[in-house]
Amino acid sequence: MAALLGAAERKGIPFTMLEVIKNNVPAHNLFLKFGFREVNELMVMRRPPGPPRAYPASKAAWLNRADALALLETRSGLAPWTNQTESLTNASDIYGLTVALPDGGAGWLVFQRQRFVMGRFVMRTERGDPAAVGRELLAQLHHRYFDLDTHTENISAADPHLPAFYEAGYIEEFRRIEMYRGEKP
């Protein structure tokens, strides 16, 4: 760890981020010793194949890779490394969808759809209740891809869409602690 951080400093890299599995006390203490601080608790969640628990209530606009990646550019803040725009730009099979609910709520979801599994979710609510928008996005997604397993990482434990994940049948596999060292860009 000292060698890696020293190399980063010599290259002028002032910021480092990592994730440690929650309750991995030796690793967590090591990272604290080297000046990392906790910034977020992240969940790894899974949903087996199957139809959605709720039928979609609106129409979805399905997005190609370019349009999905363009949505990611509208985000602010620093995402976990797996869901950063640069990481998803370098990944294959990236798609998205937008929904507009009858009550005026609206939002979007960018995801990776591979042959047997979906993951790498980035969900945003533009208007309305995040839980309602999240429910609709997940209902649309699982209505269309009912036969795919879902394994998604780095959903914040404070994400306002989290109730929608649980209502859609997602279970928590484990948690990670996101940690930063230095000042984020």
Instruction: State the pLDDT at residue 81.
Output: 85
Residue 146 burial class via C-beta count within 10 angstroms: exposed 0-12, middle 13-18, buried 19 and up: exposed
Residue 135 belongs to domain spanning: 44-173
Residue 99 belongs to domain with CATH number: 3.40.630.30
Residues 153 and 77 in one domain: yes
Question: Are 156 and 148 a contacting pair, CB within 8 Å?
Answer: no
Backbone angles phi, psi at 53, to 5 degrees: -75, -25
Residues 32 and 111 in one domain: no
Residues 39 and 113 in one domain: no
pTM to 2 decimals?
0.91
Residues 31 and 105 in one domain: no
Residues 67 and 121 in one domain: yes
Residues 85 and 113 in one domain: yes
Residues 50 and 120 in one domain: yes
Write out pLDDT tens, residues 98-136. 999 999 999 999 999 999 999 999 999 999 999 999 999
Residues 38 and 55 in one domain: no
* Rounded-to-integer distance, Cα 100 and Cα 106, Å: 4
Residues 74 and 129 in one domain: yes
127 contacts: CB under 8 Å, gap ≥ 6? 104, 105, 106, 107
Q: What is the pLDDT along the chain (185 residues), one digit of tens a residue?
A: 999 999 999 999 999 999 999 999 999 999 999 999 999 999 999 999 999 988 888 889 999 999 999 999 999 888 888 889 999 999 999 999 999 999 999 999 999 999 999 999 999 999 999 999 999 999 999 999 999 999 999 999 999 999 999 999 999 999 999 999 998 77
Instruction: State the pLDDT at residue 79.
Output: 87
Residues 58 and 20 in one domain: no
Residues 52 and 106 in one domain: yes
- Count of structural domains, the chain: 2
